[in-house]
Amino acid sequence: MDTANIGVVCSGARGATPWTGATADPITAEVVRHALHSGAEQMQVALCRTAYSHVVYETYDLACGLYDRQGRMLAQSRGLPIFLGTLGFVIQSSVAAIGGEQALEPGDVLLNTYSFDTGSHCQDATLVQPAFVGGRLVGYAAVKAHHLDLGAKEPYCTDTTDSFQEGTIFPGVKICRRGELVDDIYRTFVANSRMPAYAAGDLHAEMTAAQTGVGVLVRLVERYGHEQFEAAIERIFDHSEAIMRRFLERIPDGHYVGDSACDGDGVVDERIPFECIVEVVGSDIAVDLTNAPPARRGPINCPLPCTVSAVRLAIVSVLGSALTGLMVNEGHLRPIKVLTRPGTLFHPLPPAPVYVYGWSATELVDAIQKALAQPLAGELPAGCGGSMPSLVLWGLSPQYGFWASGQVWCSGQGAMSDSDGGASAAHISGSGCRNFPAETLELRGPFIEQRRALIQDSGGVGRHTGSLGVEYVFELLEDTFATPIFERTSTPSWAVQGGGSGKTGNLTIRLPDGTSRAYVKATALLLPKGSIIHGASGGGGGYGAPSERDPAQVHADLREGYISEAAARRHYPHAFPRGTQ
């Protein structure tokens, strides 16, 4: 991070270092590139296979990455895309916190839960393990994983007013020293969780993953030698940067404005609109967020490392649509700059609350893509049905003990210039996030899923239609606490060229006494046994005027029940000529 103008912070990737060594041969570079990518994936496999909480192994609320000695990203596992490139920040701050590189020894593992280092809420405990070969530091393996509980005021909160209410802060400390667990830190970590067995198990899983990553780095450097390895990674970075620049050059120079809004900060229920300006000059791209609203009293603030990640994700995923199997590294990120102003929604300062930062970050991704859809008309879809609609449930049960269960749902995708939105899917911020099978959920908590279905008529109409939102209905079998986190209940998916927006999502709770109420963000609602929770995600936006839709397609949708007859006749009268059925 380098500071430019007073009051404005410019963040970006680390540049190329002058390299005077031999050039790597393309085969070695290619093998190393795949080996690093595969190494990051192996870390994720090790983490998921040993993790305790299903938020990790089913939802992939995690990031695993390999970094070089300078903290440049070599590879990152698929995990949560919104974490793209965040681990570099935490490596930098954690290593600085313990006194720099010289304080690192083989077998050390650093633990960091400080939001302004990790770019996450406290629960996303991050480990950084240095890799040494022949006594020389060669890079880092870093792992971030969401822990079910790390001592916040509630197991999941939307109402914190400072970061000290959000969990236990470990500001970059050694959880392992020379390969030995530091017992004082470990016991403090576990003791601060409402679910100590999960905290311990998931922490061990993270250590396994970090060790796996370090093993990959060590094996590669031992195989190719320091010089060849470094030459290979320089070549990889340069190659990736060239690909990214070739793509960015296609975007006409200019300023493009995108906007979105958050549905309240969790403390105050009011809409929080914001804008971003995307500036393209040649093959450089900058996202200007200096006009973002001031940081909020509630935890919707997005710490800077995550703001930078969100910007990267928004841009890289446009490229990713064209290049399948993209393996992102620091090279791709070099042309991207982010401008923020400290004290704002996207650059909050300690001790601002940040617990639900992921939802503002996701809105930011959508706003940037809305801006990019102007110069890249025809290449980007209409808006999706919204960011990650989520529900966290927990309780104390005779059968399950203290249990907690978090879910993220998929929503409708936007239509393209040449195709319907297709299936509903996870938001691109969590593209690997899988919704839980009802059969898995019900094995682990006292509730029954009554329904999981596509919502008729929820997709935006148009020449091509947005895909449908999804509804979920749960019946609680015991008294249960609930924290719903919703966005885009008031801002529907955006449409393109005369298409219609999709329906917005919502969450309603019906109590056994028959009363019901809608919620956007709420914390630890105590719901009595027998309550019914009804959640719906939004539909995707349509593309093109409905009058241009192929009548045969309208009738096909009608046959499948994607659209009701009333809606079909209302939006597509041309498909029902007078005198026909």
| CA–CA distance, 523 with 484 (Å, rounded to integer) | 7
Q: Candidates 273-281, 434-442, 491-499, 521-529 — which segment interacts with another protein by CB under 8 A?
A: 434-442
Cβ 236 to another protein shortest distance, Å:
14
Among 8, 30, 277, 498, binds another protein (CB under 8 A): 30
> Which range touches another protein (CB under 8 A), out of 120-128, 133-141, 442-450, 480-488?
442-450
410 binds another protein (CB under 8 A): yes
Nearer to another protein, 51 or 276 (CB): 51
Strands 284-288 and 336-340: parallel
Q: Which of 184, 439, 515, 566 binds another protein (CB under 8 A)?
A: 439
Of 40-48, 126-134, 299-307, 519-527, the window that binds another protein (rule: CB under 8 A) is 40-48
Type of residue numbered 350: P
Check residue 450 for interaction with another protein (CB under 8 A). Answer: yes
Q: How many Å apart are CA 402 and CA 445, to the nearest integer?
A: 9
Short-list 178, 229, 320, CA closest to 31: 229
Q: Does 394 bind another protein (CB under 8 A)?
A: no
Euclidean distance between the first and final Cα of the chain, in Å?
64
Positions in 312-341 near another protein (CB under 8 A):
313, 316-321, 324-326, 328
Asked if 566 touches another protein (CB under 8 A), the answer is: no
When binding is defined by CB under 8 A, the residue of 70, 283, 431, 490 that contacts another protein is 431
Identify which range of 34-42, 64-72, 163-171, 282-290 contacts another protein by CB under 8 A: 34-42
Please choose, out of 138-146, 193-201, 343-351, 517-525, the segment that lies near another protein by the rule CB under 8 A. Answer: 193-201
d(C-alpha 185, C-alpha 196), whole Å: 14
Q: Specify the DSSP element, H or E, that contains 36.
A: helix 26-50
Answer for which of 293, 432, 498, 551 binds another protein (CB under 8 A) is: 432
Instruction: Report, in Å, the least distance between residue 65 CB and another protein.
Output: 13
- CB nearer to another protein: give 39 or 500: 39
397 binds another protein (CB under 8 A): no
Alpha helices in 252-388 (DSSP H): 304-322, 330-333, 357-372
Residue 323 CB, nearest approach to another protein (Å): 8
Site stretch for another protein (CB under 8 A), options 164-172, 348-356, 514-522, 555-563: 555-563
Helix axis angle for 196-248 and 304-322, nearest 10°, is: 60
Q: Binding to another protein by residue 249, rule CB under 8 A?
A: no
Binding of residue 508 to another protein (CB under 8 A): no
Q: Do β-strands 480-485 and 470-476 pair in parallel, antiparallel, or remain unpaired?
A: unpaired
Give the strand pairing for 401-408 and 390-397: antiparallel
Please list every residue from 343 through 372 that binds another protein, using CB under 8 A.
369
- In the set 8, 14, 70, 78, which binds another protein (CB under 8 A)? 78
What are the tokens at 473? Answer: 């209905």
Rounded CA gap, 540 and 179, in Å? 50
Q: Contacting another protein (CB under 8 A), which of 1, 257, 453, 526?
A: 453
Phi-psi region of 76 (alpha: psi -120 to 50; beta: other; left: phi over 0): beta
User: Phi/psi class of residue 53: alpha, beta or left (left: φ > 0; alpha: ψ in -120 to 50)?
Assistant: beta
x-or-dash string of contact with another protein, 196-235, rule CB under 8 A? -xx--x--x--xx--x----x------x------------
The values of phi and psi at residue 463, to 5°, are -60, -40
Q: Quote the least distance from Cβ 343 to another protein, whole Å.
A: 31
Name the helix (H) or strand (E) containing 474: strand 470-476
**35 lies in the site for another protein, by CB under 8 A:** yes
Q: Using CB under 8 A, which of 9, 11, 13, 37 touches another protein?
A: 37
CB atoms within 10 A of CB 103: 13
Residue of 120, 124, 63 lying closest to 430 (CA atoms): 63
Reference 454, options 540, 526, 520, 519; nearest CA is 540
DSSP state of 569: H
Alpha-carbon distances of 230 from 14, 42, 134, 533, rounded to whole Å:
15, 22, 15, 54
Q: Which of 273, 437, 528, 573 binds another protein (CB under 8 A)?
A: 437
Q: Are 275 and 291 in contact, with CB atoms under 8 Å apart? A: yes
Q: Is 378 in the site for another protein (CB under 8 A)?
A: no
In the structure encoding, which two tokens stand for residue 167, read together? 């969990």
For residue 278, list its beta bridge partners: 256, 287
Q: Looking only at residues 55 through 74 of this chain, which bind another protein when binding is defined by CB under 8 A?
A: 57-58
Count of helices and strands (H, E) across the chain = 12, 22
| Residue 222 or 270 with smaller CB distance to another protein | 222
Q: How far is the CB of 441 from another protein (least distance, A)?
A: 9
Interface residue with another protein, options 217, 244, 433, 520 (CB under 8 A): 433
Name which of 307 and 413 has its Cβ closer to another protein. 413
Residues 106-165 that bind another protein (CB under 8 A): none
Residue closer to another protein, measured from CB, 79 or 130: 79
CB of 4 to another protein, least distance (A): 28
Chain positions 282 to 311 lying near another protein, rule: CB under 8 A, are none
**Which tokens go with 7?**
């009051």
Cα 92 to Cα 425: distance, rounded to the nearest angstrom: 34
From candidates 12, 54, 138, 492, binder to another protein by CB under 8 A: 54
The CA-atom distances, in angstroms, between 117 and each of 45, 56, 371 are 25, 21, 29
The site that binds another protein (CB under 8 A) totals a number of residues, namely 78
